[in-house]
Structure 1
Amino acid sequence: QHNSYYQECLFYLHSYGTNLAIISFYMRHDCMREALLHLLNKESPSELFIEGIFIPSYEGGKLHMLENLLETIDPGLESWGVYLIAACKYLQRKNYYHILYELQQFMKDHVRAAMTCIRFFTHGAKSYTELGGKQTWLLKIKDHLKVYLQEVSRSSGRKKMACTFRKKMSATDVSRHINTVDLQMEVTKFLHRCESSGTSQMTGSSLPTLFGNNNMKMDVACKVMLEGKNIEEGFGIAFRVLQDFQLEATDVYSKVAKQLVKRQKYSEIRQLLKCVNESGVAAKNDGDNIILNCLNEFKNIPAEDLDNLIQDMDSDENKVSK
């Protein structure tokens, strides 16, 4: 029971005040439930939720209390959907990713939560040694995606109104993402090991992962081949990256070969060609093209190594032209 002064203020606010003033008044007097119900009853815009309820809640350490009330008023959270999405966007703009992740978990918005975990994994890492220490995020991505798949398969049998605010994704896409995470785990373990053992030679400004665009994925494939003890060691993982994402394999192999020429590792180029030929999916001239790309770019390959590379060519015509 509130005193008469409180009632007077409330009467005045309801008569003359804005919705934000009313909501802020409720919040100041620890009447969060009333603030939320007022917001819903007036169908207030999401800015009002952010400014009047959400910001004061997390700044005052009452986010859990807010979440509990949202769930109590509407267990399915549907009536809060537009407000919760707005809160997520606000947190993203502010770079408050830890609060965002907590909110996404509360919302059971597993696909978006997985995307936030990807950011936690990749953001700010300067080496694969660092990424090696962040692999728990990869496990969390998988957990979110698996839970999402379970929920989708459970709800598909029931005739109920589809949830409107949680991000949707086809089962095929989810499975593909899970596969990407598995492959990224392998890449991370491999490159972490290479960095630890000192075989790693590449330094780049940005750290490529399989969560980037195709160019970045190609960089991952190159990195894996070049950073092992030899080409063969990383070829298997690189080959799977190329296959899974249907990348331009010849471009990647040529890029690797050029790096090997720069490092004067000519025998490794021959090993690369052997791996490519044995992979079973190389086109007839792939090996030749890799060598030709190298020869066109570098004129200073020692004669003996040059002869060896030319001998490795399949086409006599290419051999003669060189």
Structure 2
Amino acid sequence: MTRFHLPRRALLGAGAAAGLLAAFGPARAQADRTIRILVGFPPGGGTDAIARILADALKAELNGATVLVENKPGAGGQLAAQALKAAAPDGNTLFLSHDHSISILPQVVKAPGFDPAHDFVPVVGIATFVNAFAVSGGTPAKSFTDYVTWVRSQGGKSAVGVPAPASVPEFLVKLIGEKFKLDLVAAPYRGSAPLMADMLGNQIPAGVASIPDFIENHRAGKLRVVGVLGGARQAVMPDVPTFTELGLPGFEDVPYYGLFAPAGTPRATIDAFSAATARVLAKPAVSERLTALGLAVGHMSPDVLGQRERAYTATWSRIIKATGFVPQ
């Protein structure tokens, strides 16, 4: 029997093609496939809304596969991250996360139960965003300057809600208080949804969270975003100044949203999902919905997302150490 030997490059190409076919192959196979997108926060928040937009769009792109959003709230995304680590590396379980769970938690928790550098692999970045400072409708403040004046009239002390303990928003509360000589006390919540509920009920006068968390209620006039982080004003709220304008520079490096998979997931599967997400983000019906949430939509390859994650982690490592924070 004659044996034919393919060149090494051809063999590698065939292997990649087989991986792609296994990951996103025939329509019949896809129809029987269920993909879970883990979200570390309760339904109703910004991350949950983004995950559901992606899930709906990816169903059609992946030949009818079932794409489910699975909320695992608790510990600022820690439980969802642990669930990702425990999942099979078959491309059927992904974790939609912003900077907190991936870049911040491992620096502020002694034993988070996962190590992003070893337990996860980046799949695709979908957008960047900025954090914002908002005041509830129960305060008289119409601007950040008004808020500072109001806090001083209340004895100089105020609670500011944040979506998770030891998060970027909590560190921002500390730094904003120091800059403007206010005694601001961060009040951590289990996600942005309960924080929004308390702000709308005037149970807490202010909060720091992402623009996607605040945008709808800001538009409705139920709360007021009075300052944003990042290097430029945001198109969705062009009248709101940046904190650089307000006198607190140094927070121009903006956080990200991305999808991550368990370590060991085949690169062909990762590349295929990244390409499918790129096609989804290119659709106006999807990108416009995400942009309306206050995101700067833009596809990032697995390698680019990994680079952004490492750079953001390094930036906040310096800031966290400068605050004197001790991991809990």
TM-score, normalised via structure 2 length = 0.21
The structure that has the greater radius of gyration is 1
TM-score, normalised via structure 1 length = 0.22
Q: Whose RCO is larger (CA < 8 A, sep 6+)?
A: 2
Which structure shows the bigger proportion of residues in strand conformation? Answer: 2
Which structure shows the bigger proportion of residues in helix conformation? Answer: 1
